[in-house]
Amino acid sequence: MKTAPSLQEAGTLLRSAQRIVVLTGAGISTASGIPDYRSPNTGFWQQKNPIEIASASAFRTHPERFYHDWLRPIALYCLNAQPNPAHLALAHLEQAGKLSAIITQNIDRLHHRAGSNNVIELHGSLSNFHCPRCAKTFPGNSLYQQLIEDDRIPYCPNCQVILKPNIVLFGDNLSQANWQKATQYSQECDLMLVVGSSLNVGPANALPYLAIETGAPLIILTRSETPLDEQATLILHEDIVSALPLLISFALEDL
């Protein structure tokens, strides 16, 4: 297969890097059947108001609507999804010893399921719930199955209050531990690759600036324009699922 010049150039940059950090957004998971949030016509927030159903205040004031109108549909998409070739390619890059960390804005756990180990989930994940009153944590698997199959909202068995998913909602603060790790990796990387993110959501969209400030090349692989396009070393408006495996294969050639 003939490699496009832009992919060859990006592959050369990746090949020479040893501490690659990847920032992923919803665009890497759309091919796995999970809709993104902002695409015209298909984005989840084109149909729903996130502040009304997916915010910390919505969970506190209307938890039933939060579960029925947002968490259950999202969980149904995510738990039925499988890692696609883009997720698998990043796991391969990590196994080759060239990827330091994946920083993701996604809650779908597909990077973990693809075999990646050092994944920083800035917005949390579908892995578990916690009780807002006693703070006890509960594994998510069976509770999400009950939610999907029976539309059953999970309650704390001790406090009898509705459990909150360990997901960062609108109005919530990020985990400081995760944010500190993400900023450190961004400052120490020798190349940052942004995959499937519009870079319109903060504070995650500040991380590429940290890499740029240290002189690291920035490669953006996404269908849409981003606020950092003018500062990027390379912009690849390619199909992520086909381009990323090819890019990483080229980067690992002869290694």
Contact between residue 211 and residue 57 where contact means Cβ atoms under 8 Å apart? no
Residues 6+ away with beta carbon under 8 Å from 141: none
**Catalytic (active site) residue 123:** yes
- C-alpha dist (Å) from residue 149 to 67, 78, 80, 146, 243: 13, 14, 12, 5, 36
Q: Which residue in 87, 92, 111, 123 is the catalytic one?
A: 123
In terms of Cβ atoms closer than 10 Å to its own Cβ (0-12, 13-18, 19+), residue 142 is: exposed
The owner of tokens 């740029």 is 212
What is the longest distance spanned by two Cα atoms in the chain? 61
- Rounded to 5 degrees, φ, ψ at 104 are -125, 145
Strands 191-195 and 99-104: unpaired
Q: Which residues are catalytic?
A: 123
